[in-house]
């Protein structure tokens, strides 16, 4: 089968022919229809992600397709069933062996492109806002990097949960997408001062930050007393340092979240979150924003879109061509 593999760190992925997988006990094999790209893939390529796999490795953190084979001890999944999976790797191949515990059935009305753009971004934002920050109706939510994969879902879910959402992104076109997804206030990070603008709106009660660096510092200083800070990534390349004296004076909390660890830390919370999100999708309450759909051969082009911050929402790879 064809697969896009990382063979050497900090080099483009290579299109390779590798053996098709067979399911081990507890696994299913998915015939992959679509795979969502994530900023974490670019960090894996550089060797700077939270996890550093042995090479060569097939990348692709999340995927959607149909069950092709079922391993021993697996129940609830049958050949031909439509599923989405969050495995951390393996999605950029025509077939992938995935632990059944990382898979969820998807509705018949859900396109594979939507399903492949769903679990990581919505799962991260839902766990962060609902389980970690306990976002309440009427609170003010500041979302940095609001037009990106996770940021746009935070805008959408924050609006759905009844918060007053402040979206911060670069440029009018990206901010317009944030407005369409439910943002109440828009901040252009290229031309506006984040701290002063948020302060003028009354300050933030929850800070959602996949960016880090100077934007995190500005957002933190725009937070109200008792605010909850969600540092979820460092797309700027700078891991922010949180001054303890500000936390003490303002009685603020810092709440870390790495969705990849939830399969072991709290698998029920992960499963419950996915169940809720899929119900919201079926009810028409949420809808992934996919800006680019590319063939498998163009994976490196898709990753460049993420690196250059040219994509909005998700970039998805279609493996059916």
- In the chain, what are the domain boundaries? 2-118+288-318, 121-260
- C-alpha 303, offset from chain centre: 14
Q: CA 205, CA 188: separation in Å to the nearest integer?
A: 20
Tell which residue, 235, 190, 176, has the closest CA to residue 209: 235
Q: CA 142, CA 158: separation in Å to the nearest integer?
A: 10
Tallying the residues shown for the chain, one arrives at 321
Q: Of 3.40.50.150, 3.30.420.40, 3.40.50.920, 3.90.180.10, which CATH number belongs to 2-118+288-318?
A: 3.90.180.10
Beta-carbon contacts of residue 18 (< 8 Å; ≥ 6 apart): 1, 3, 5, 58, 93
pLDDT band at 262, cuts 50/70/90? confident
Tell me the pLDDT tens digit for each residue of 299-314. Answer: 999 999 999 989 999 9
Res. 321: pLDDT tops 80: no
DSSP state of 21: P
Beta-carbon contacts of residue 181 (< 8 Å; ≥ 6 apart): 152, 155, 156, 159, 289
Res. 267: pLDDT tops 90: no
Intra-chain end-to-end CA distance of the chain, in Å:
13
Asked if 2-118+288-318 and 121-260 have one fold, the answer is: yes
SS3 breakdown of the chain: % helix, strand, coil, rounded to 5?
A: 35, 25, 40
| 98 phi, psi to nearest 5 deg | -135, 140
Tell me the pLDDT tens digit for each residue of 104-149. Answer: 999 999 999 999 999 999 999 999 999 999 999 999 999 999 999 9
For domain 121-260, the question of CATH label 1.10.3720.10 is answered with: no
Beta-carbon contacts of residue 150 (< 8 Å; ≥ 6 apart): 120, 121, 124, 125, 210, 232, 233
């Amino acid at each position: 089968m064809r697969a896009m593999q990382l063979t050497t760190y900090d080099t483009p992925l290579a299109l390779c022919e590798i053996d098709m997988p067979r399911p081990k006990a507890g696994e299913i094999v998915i015939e992959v229809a679509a795979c969502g790209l994530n900023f974490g893939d670019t960090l894996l390529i550089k060797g700077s992600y939270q996890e550093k796999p042995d090479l060569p490795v097939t990348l692709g953190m999340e995927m959607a397709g149909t069950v092709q084979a079922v391993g021993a001890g697996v129940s609830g999944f049958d050949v031909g069933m439509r599923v989405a999976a969050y495995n951390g790797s393996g999605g950029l191949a025509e077939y992938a062996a995935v632990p059944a515990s990382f898979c969820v059935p998807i509705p018949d009305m859900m396109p594979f492109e939507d399903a492949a753009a769903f679990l990581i971004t919505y799962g991260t934002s839902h766990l962060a806002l609902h389980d970690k920050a306990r976002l309440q109706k009427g609170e003010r939510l500041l979302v940095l990097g609001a037009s990106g994969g996770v940021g746009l879902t935070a805008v959408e879910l924050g609006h759905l949960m009844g918060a007053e959402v402040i979206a911060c992104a670069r440029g009018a076109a990206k901010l317009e997408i944030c407005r369409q997804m439910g943002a109440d206030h828009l901040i252009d990070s290229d031309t506006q001062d984040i701290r002063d603008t948020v302060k003028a709106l009354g300050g933030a009660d929850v800070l959602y930050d996949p960016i880090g660096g100077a934007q995190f510092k500005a957002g933190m200083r725009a937070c109200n007393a008792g605010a909850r800070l969600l540092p979820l990534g460092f797309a700027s390349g700078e891991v922010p340092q949180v001054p303890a004296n500000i936390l003490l004076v303002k009685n603020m909390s810092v709440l870390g979240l790495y969705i990849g660890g939830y399969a072991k830390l709290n698998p029920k919370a992960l499963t419950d979150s996915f169940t809720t999100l899929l119900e919201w999708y079926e009810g028409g309450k949420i809808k992934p924003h996919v800006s680019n759909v590319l063939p498998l051969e163009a994976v490196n082009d898709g990753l460049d879109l993420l690196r250059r911050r040219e994509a909005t929402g998700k970039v998805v790879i279609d493996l059916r061509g």
